[in-house]
Amino acid sequence: MKTVKILESFEGWPTGQAPVRYVAGQQVEVSNEFADLIVGKGHAKEVISAKAAPASEEPADVAPRIPRPPREPQREAQVFQDELGAPGAGALGR
């Protein structure tokens, strides 16, 4: 089964038993054979999900995400206080 997006409205026989009306903009799942037929005729285009796309199809400008270690806000505040001196003293308090 393939998922396709209908590009132009048409009537098709996906099972060979009864006609089905497809409308432009519709996204449907059909058999591989029927999908190949309607894509080949220009009535639809195949929809490839992000999960199914191999990593090689990712855009080249996307940098891999590297997790950062968690911050230690208390330690950073302490270092900042040590550099400035006592809280509220400013440059004149030294």
| Full residue range of the structural domain in which residue 28 is found | 2-50
**Residues contacting 16, CB < 8 A, separation 6+:** none
User: pLDDT tier at 15 (50, 70, 90 boundaries)?
Assistant: confident
Whole-Å CA distances, 63 to 29, 46, 56, 58, 90:
33, 27, 13, 10, 42
68 within some domain: no
CATH code, domain with 28: 3.40.5
32 within some domain: yes
For 49-94, how does the pLDDT look when each residue is reduced to its tens digit (9 = 90+)? 755 555 555 555 555 666 777 766 555 555 555 555 555 555 555 5
82 within some domain: no
61 within some domain: no
Domain count, the chain: 1
> What size, in residues, is the chain?
94
Q: Strands of 2-6's sheet, edge to edge?
A: 27-30, 2-6, 44-46
d(CA 51, CA 79): 45
pLDDT of amino acid 5: 95
